Amino acid sequence: MGKNDRLGSTIPIMFNVGGGEIFMILLLALLLLGPEKLPETARKVGKFMAEVRRVTSGFEEEVRSAMDIGQVHTVDDALDRTTEGPRLVAPVDPVTPPTTSGSPTPFVGDLSADSTDNDDAASS
């Protein structure tokens, strides 16, 4: 059971303040302001809290919409890249098979490495 799950606590927690703390604040306000000024002050505090909530929710909505627009552009760009059609390229000349003439092409290179490998294999 957590701190907020105490039995008998029916007042919801606001601003991380529990029911006992709220009761003490209300009692102190009653003693300082008196019963005549307390309702008027409570109305002013309520209006102030409503205005703060309205401003913060408007700000949060602006941030959310700005983030959503950025995500839409990112997804839109990704879709544009993946849905591009085939690209036209310059035509390539077809490959023709080599023609064989009567004489084989002479090998140009060093065959000494191959001959030593064959000699080692033969002597084993």
Summarised one tens digit per residue, pLDDT across range 25-48 is 889 988 998 888 888 998 998 999
The rounded distance, in Å, linking the Cα atoms of 95 and 110 is 30
For the chain, the helix, strand and coil percentages under 3-state DSSP, each to the nearest 5? 65, 0, 35
Question: Contact, 22 vs 14, CB < 8 A?
Answer: yes
pTM exceeds 0.85: no
pLDDT at 111: 67
**Average pLDDT, whole number, for the chain?**
74
| pLDDT higher than threshold 70 for residue 11 | no
Share of the chain above pLDDT 70, in %: 56
Where b means 16+ CB within 10 Å and e means fewer, 42-79 reads eeeeeeeeeeeeeeeeeeeeeeeeeeeeeeeeeeeeee
